[in-house]
Structure formats: C-alpha cells, structure tokens
Structure 1
C-alpha cells in the first residue's frame, strides 16, 4: 500500500512578488523551528520596502534545514523573482548550515553577508570582554578598507587569537568597508527576518494547516 507523506510546502503570494519589484535588492534569509510534535522548520525570505519596513516575500515548511532544502527553497524563489533579478540581490543570513554552497549551486557569485550579531555570538564563545566586543563592531562598521585595517591592527594588539579568528572570515561578508553598492543597504544585522519570525511565534506552535492559515491572514492584513 502506498502512503502520501507531507514533506514540504512553499508559499509565494503574487502581491508580495510584485511588491518586491519596488524594494531594494536586499533579502534576509532565515530558518526557525516549528514547535510541534512533527517538528520541521520554517524557511523565510524577507525584503525591505521603500518605507524601510519588512516585506515578507516567501516562506516554506521543510523537514529540516539542510543544503537540499535550501537548494529547493532558492530554486523556487528564483523561479518566482527571476534568476536575473536574484543575481543582482544581496542576501543576509546567520551562516545557516548548507547555505553558502547552496548559493554557489543556485545563484553562483551572488553577493551575501553574515549577520554580525550572530557572528559575534560565535566570537564571544572564545573571546570574552566588552573591549573585544566593541572592537569587533568597530571593524564591522568601518566604511573604508584603511579604517578596517586600522581597527583590525588594534584588535591584534588586544588579542592575537581573536584577530586571527576574525581575520579568517572574509570581510566582504561582514564589514561595511567591503560591501557592494548594488543593494543600496549597509545593514549589518538580519533584523528583518528576526522580526518576521517573532510575529509567528504563536503560529509556529500550531499544526501545519492552522499555522499556514495564520500566516496567510497575517500577510493579507499587511
């Protein structure tokens, strides 16, 4: 006997797809757990509208956050927004598992950034102290490569291991001094996605169908 088993679902409303045409080419990607017995994760792509407010573009329910599920998600996103448009975008993420190789497979060479807040949460597991924290953020906020090198040199004077840890992450992912101008956005954190996920906290505790209905109503209201 054959059984039908739910695995994934992808949702993109036409109004959201059309609205993105008038937004900056900047997309935040994130994944969050569903708080049900069945488990699973909710993947989201969020933009920033001309009023600097969040624009949920697409979302999907998947069994787990893996390279395979991200490839599936980004291929659908590419079909909806157009591969030529997606190639001009800048993506912001929290260094999710399997996401970087996914970019190379689906959108080779696309510009992407790491959320500095998430980068710092990993940094402080090894390097504690307010001075090191402030120095990391000064490196991230540096707007010229010479300023970045000056701040990194200062960091090396404080803690050589912290310098080598941070220097091992290409600055194009996390420092304004290396950001491109295409997205017209110099954001260092993925607040857009986190704000959207925060709105869905209660919905994520419900069954799949009810959760999707709640998200649909929220999107329609916006």
Structure 2
C-alpha cells in the first residue's frame, strides 16, 4: 500500500492526518519486519549460495563483487554487484525437451536499491514458458549483459558444436545508437554515407548469421509474460526476491510434471492440435516423391470457399436503397380449385396405382389424355355418337327377336291344348278347374305367364315403333 493510500485510510478510519515522510518511514519499518532488511540480506547471499549448491547439485550460483579497496593493504568488505542463477533442472530440461529458442530481456526492480533482473526464457514442448536462467545486476549495460551471456553460454553445453540456437532480444536502444552514428558519418563525409546505404540495412550483418537454426517465433512476448509473472516480487529485498522466484519456478515445474504424466504418447497436446490442423490442410495438396527426403507438393485450388453466417433477419429494413419499398407480384389465379399435386406425365403412376398402366387416362369430355372429366378445363367437344333413329331401330330389332321366341313357345303350348280340346278352358278356368281337367297346374301357369309377357312386350314394341 502506498503512503498516500495509508494516509487516506487513517483519515477516514481515525480522522488523523500524518506527514508523508513519517508514513513512508513507518511503512519501511513494517516491511523490514515482515520481509527482512534490504541491506542485511546482501550479507546472507554467500550462505544462500552454499545452500542452493548443496541441495541442487550442478546448479550455477555465481556472485560478483565490487571491490572498493584503494590499496593492497586495505581490508574493506566486498560490495555486491551482480549474481547469476541457473538451476540444474532448468538447464537439463531446456537441453532435452525445449525449443532451441531463447528470448532475453530485462525488467527493473522496485526495491530500495533498485537494480535490473535479466532473464533468458525458452518455450517448452507444449508451447509454454520455460525460464532457463536469470541474473540480478546493478544497471542494464554492456558489462552486465556480458556477465549474463557468458555464464549462460557455459550453462547450455558449449562443447556441443552441433547445437543451433535462436536468440531474440529487444534492440530498440541499439538501433537508435546505430542511427545516431550513421547521421554522424553523413555529416562528416557524404561519399562514405552513400556507399554505406547503397545496400539495405538488413544486409549489413547477414554474414554473421547462420542459416541452420530456424524458429517460428518472431516476437519476444515470452519475456514480457515472464516479467509480468514476477511483478509481485519485484519490490522485495534481494534474498526474498531470489528465493521467491525459486519457489515460483519449483511450483511451476511440479505442476508441469504432473500434467505431463497425463499426456498420451510423446507428442504434447498443443503440437498434436497443430499436426491435426496441418493434416486437414494437406487434403488440398498432392505430393510426388522425388527422393528419400524430397517431395514435390502441388496445392489444389478447391475447398476454399465457405458459407458465412448472417445477422438476424428480423432487423432487415423494408425500404430499399434505390427503388423504395418493394411490393409483392400480381396474384394470378386459374379457374377452378388450385392444384396441390404435381401434374404427372402419361407414363407416370398415379397415387396408389402401379407404375405400369394398361391404358392411358383419357377425358370423356374433351377426348384428351393425361386427365379425366373432373379435372378437365377445356370446352366439351362435339358428340359423335349414333343418331336416335339408329338407336330406335336397334331396340325394335331386339324386341322382335324376343317376341318371336315367346310366340314360338305359346304356339307350341296352343298346339298341345288344341290337341286335347281344352285350350278355352285353360284361359278361363282357375287352378282347381285345371286340376279337374287333368292338367298340370305348374305347366299351365307357365303358359299363362308366357302369354301375358308376350302381350306386354308386343305393346311396348308397338309404342317404340
């Protein structure tokens, strides 16, 4: 809490107001009680050095002192200048499983004695931050950077000449110095200046770069993330700062170890996602092998377009940008009930019928195919059926044939009755009288019905004629 915030708290809580310097001194005393003394902790660094090297074999803890001895016989205590720290676990894991990339940067400390913390940050196999080494120096200068880089070189296995690394740093101030020197050369001799700038500036130091190491990282964001990660301890005393950073690294590596035990196979999840994405993209490519490690890849042009989602259609306006409000088209209605089903061809099957029809559908009204009389929309055609005179003639001919058959039956019955001299009695007697005469009643009734039918048919035929 800042002194101004403490003063406001005291004013609101206890209604007292103290001078700024008094609150500042009181806060510093409380910080020394809780976190330790800023000055006395420098004297404990050598003992802390031995403790770290005892518990973490192979680590680097190098302290550099500033000697204020003016003469050889003077006995003056050494003054702290710089310290380099690299734990053995960080160095080995970087060499075994991290990306061959190091981002170097520094951040200012906010304690009583200020200082700058320089760090070297790499990227692990799962695209996470991996601190390799760090150092606390007095200021960010050439000597302090050489102290840090020389010890870092000793840590990352200098005997392995085949190892290729990529370094990235913030060279903004260095570039500003280069521009200043170029302007100075221009003011001295324009000929040298023109010879110097005839080539692009990015080619001036190309001879010093190796074409072997390559990396996909083009920014130094991992160092900025690291500086933000330790922002809460940048105000602590030197010993508290170094030990708090050790605890943060230890917790980070512990959680990464347990998280790595849940990984399947040797490929990390982030790399697996990247490989899946590359595999999906490779579907648009065709490869032709040329050698064991050489392929010719042809990228196809398909599968590049996609449908993009639209906004809510309820927000659409009804007024057009040019012609105004667009109206609906004119309604067209055909005479009759609207047709709901599709009009089928003659060779298609109707609903519920077989696809093979014996005869085509023909309208009895217009004599056309593909519809019936109920769905016909054309005027009726002229009837070409036979005339009424021809129809009456056919009926008369049929009645004559039928009358002839009936008359033949009656004639046969009459001949039988005459032969027996009982014809009149048959026509004018009852059934009991016929039985007395010795005739069969059933046969006699059949003759009478045939005779009555003949008379009725003959009357109808005469009327039709």
Structure-1-length-normalised TM-score: 0.61
CA contact (8 A) 2:164 2:212 kept: no
Pairs within 5 Å for 1:55-94: 55-85=130-160, 88-94=164-170
For 1:171 and 1:189, locate their aligned partners in 2 and report how far apart those are by CA, in whole Å: 21
1:186 lines up with 2:262 in the alignment: no
The residue number in structure 2 matching 1:53 is: 128
Residue matched to 1:205? 235
Is 1:8 matched up with 2:82?
yes
Residue 62 (structure 2) pairs with residue 29 (structure 1): no
Q: 1:69 to 1:219 in 2, by over 3 A?
A: same
Q: Shift of residue 65 of structure 1?
A: 0.9
Tell me, in whole angstroms, the C-alpha distance in 1 between the residues paired with 2:166 and 2:159: 13
CA distance 1:192–1:180, change in 2 (3 Å): farther
- What's the CA shift for 1:37? 2.3
Q: How do 1:150-165 and structure 2 match up within 5 A? A: none
Superimposed CA distance per residue, residues 153-205 of structure 1 (whole angstroms, 9 cap, x where no aligned partner): xxxxxxxxxxx9xx5344989xxxx994524x221110111111110111111
Q: Which has the higher strand share?
A: 1
Q: Unaligned 5+ residue runs, structure 2?
A: 1-74, 177-196, 253-465
1:168 — aligned with what?
201
3-state secondary structure, aligned to 2:79 = coil
Aligned-partner Cα distance in 1 for 2:109–2:147? 19
> Given that residues 28 and 91 in structure 1 are in contact (C-alpha distance below 8 angstroms), is that contact kept between their aligned partners in structure 2?
yes
Aligned residues: 152
CA RMSD of aligned residues (A): 2.8
| Larger Cα-atom Rg | 2
User: What TM-score does the superposition give when structure 2 sets the normalisation length?
Assistant: 0.30
* Structure ranking higher on relative contact order (CA contacts 8 Å, 6+ apart): 1
Query: Unaligned stretches of 5+ in structure 1?
Result: 101-118, 120-163
2:102/2:165 contact within 8 Å kept: yes
